[in-house]
Structure 1
Amino acid sequence: MIETQEERPAIREPLRKVGITNLRSVAKINWKGRVYTFLPVFEVTIDLPAEKKGIHMSRLVESITEAMSEAVEEEVKEAHTSLEELGRCIIKRLEGKHPHKRAEVWIRTHLIIPRETPASKRLSYEPYDVEVGVIKNEDGSFEKVLRVKVIGNTVCPHAMANNSGKTHIQRAIGELEVKAPFDRGITLEEMVNVVESSFSSPTYTLLKTPDENAVVQKIFENPKFVEDVAREIFSKAKERFSGKVHVRVISQESIHKHDVIAETWS
């Protein structure tokens, strides 16, 4: 078999990231004794030296498939206790299949967290967008990037103060990113909680009438600008997580044709 990937390219320029993206698969994670099933989207990349024409794409896919098979066959007893551990496992398998100095694995999926509604105490399963990145540096060290996206509500304190308590409500989207050494104990669920607790009120998939009333009352008791939300997320995240923190909040304005944004990072 002719390995055209090993030929010299016409333009000898090293590439920092080459690989596969938008690969869908299944992942099982054993977290705190409970098995969670995810349907994530993967991106796996490695660096490519100037003297090689291309990489062996199938070897990247093999690394993902074998890591998944390991989890299924062993019933995830000890295999993968987090998405970032799964990412590192993929890189470790790739080390024996394809030469590289630097590698990245990114996993995008949804985290479903059961919540209790505020008044009727019904169980509501809430979805959150999460992303995990695992990076192997050239010196062999590993670091991780954790991202969560949470939807909440805010109510405008300015309109409330100038309109006899009447004001406008908007949906807000809070994004939190933490970059840290791999062994730092940071959970996606705690990151979600930090963001969600910083809005005027959380949002819920299921709301009965008493719950709707409770949410509205909480919003009006806790008016916030988008700037207030961003500052609160940032403050809580710096206190709880050891790493570089990035916060971005977008307010989808109800009385404007534009949105409002607040962003900061450490």
Structure 2
Amino acid sequence: MFETQEEVPEIKERLHRVGVTNLRTIARINWKGKLYTFIPTFEVTIDVPEEKKGIHMSRLVESITETMSEAIEEEVREAHTSLEELGLAVIRRLEKKHPHKRAEVWIKTQLILERETPASRKISLETYDVEVGVIKEPERVEKALKVKVIGNTACPHAMANNQGKTHIQRAVATLEIKTDYNEEIALEDMIDVVESSFSSPTYTLLKTIDENAVVQNMYSNPKFVEDVAREIIFKAKQKFRGRIHVKVVSHESIHKHDVIAETWY
């Protein structure tokens, strides 16, 4: 059988990231005694030296599927304690299958959390987009954690110039932290930092009294998109260690365009 991947390419250039992307599977995580089930999307890449034509893609897929099977066989309670630990487990298995100097595993999924509505105190299940990356370099392992949260803003400028009336809009904020792999940061804590920085959170379930409370909260807490971005990074710098990136997009209700505020530390 010919291993064409091992041939010398016509153009000798090192490639930094080659692999599989948009691979969907199942993952079960036991985070501090609480069991989560995810249907994540994986991206797994390694570097390719200049003297190799390509990589053995099936070995990357095997590293994912075998890691998932191992978790199921061990009933997950002794397997993976976080999404980043799962990502590192894939890399460790890949180390035995395919030579490389650098590897990355990125896991995208949704985290569902219980929230209490502001007036009726009913439980509302809220969905948040999250992404976790594990990056293995020759001398170190880093991780990246990203959360995307939907909230609302009320414009303070219109309120100040329109007898207390103003326009409101949905805003989407992204908080990303890159840090040492061993730094413990909970995705739930990152979500809390972002969600508490809007004029008001949004909810899947709202009874009439809850809807009234949300509107009242927004009008009593008007913010520019700039205010939201500043508050997120201020809180994140106090709570987390690492390189922090914040991006907030406001889907304007009175314009045909959106507005953006972005910062990093």
- TM band (smaller chain): over 0.9
Residue identity matched to 1:116: E
Question: What TM-score do the two structures reach when normalised by structure 1?
Answer: 0.99
Partner residue of 2:22?
22
Q: What residue in structure 2 maps to residue 34 of structure 1?
A: 34
**Residues 93-242 of structure 1: pairs in structure 2 closer than 5 A:** 93-139=93-139, 141-242=140-241
Measure, in 2, the Cα distance between the counterparts of 1:239 and 1:137. Answer: 28
- The one-letter amino acid paired with 2:184 is G
Give 1:71's aligned residue.
71
1:53-72 C-alpha deviation (Å, 9 max, x unpaired): 11000000000001101111
- What SS class does the counterpart of residue 81 from structure 2 fall into? coil
Amino acid of the residue matched to residue 200 of structure 1?
Answer: S
| Aligned match of 2:81 | 81
CA-based RMSD of the aligned residues comes to: 0.6
CA deviations over 1:11-66 (Å, ceiling 9, x no partner): 11110110000000000000121110000000000000011111000000000001
Amino acid at match of 1:100: H
SS in 2 for 1:212: helix
> Which residue does 2:5 correspond to in 1?
5
1:208-248 deviation line (CA, Å, top 9, x unaligned): 10110010010011000000000000000011000000000
- Determine the C-alpha separation between the residues in 1 that align with 2:77 and 2:251: 43
The answer to which of 89-98 and 118-127 deviates more is 118-127
Give the Cα–Cα distance (whole angstroms) in 2 for the partners of residues 260 and 16 of structure 1.
Answer: 34
Correspondence 1:246 to 2:245: yes
Number of residues paired by the alignment? Answer: 265
* SS in structure 1 of the partner of residue 2 of structure 2: coil
1:49 is aligned to 2:55 = no
What is the SS of the residue equivalent to 1:195? helix
TM-score by length of structure 2 reads 0.99
Pair 1:90 & 2:94 matched:
no
- Structure 2: 5+ residue runs without aligned partners? none
* SS state at 1:170 partner: strand
State the SS of the aligned residue for 2:262. strand
Q: Which amino acid aligns with 1:198?
A: S
> Distance between the aligned counterparts of 1:70 and 1:122, measured in 2?
38
Which structure 1 segments of 5+ residues have no match?
A: none
In structure 2, the residue corresponding to 1:232 is in which secondary structure?
Answer: helix
Structure 2 SS opposite 1:176: strand
Alignment partner of 2:55: what SS? coil
The list of structure 1 runs, each at least 4 consecutive aligned residues, that deviate by more than 4 angstroms after superposition, is: none
Q: Aligned partners of 1:12 and 1:163: how far apart in 2?
A: 65
Q: Distance in 1 between matches of 2:35 and 2:63?
A: 22
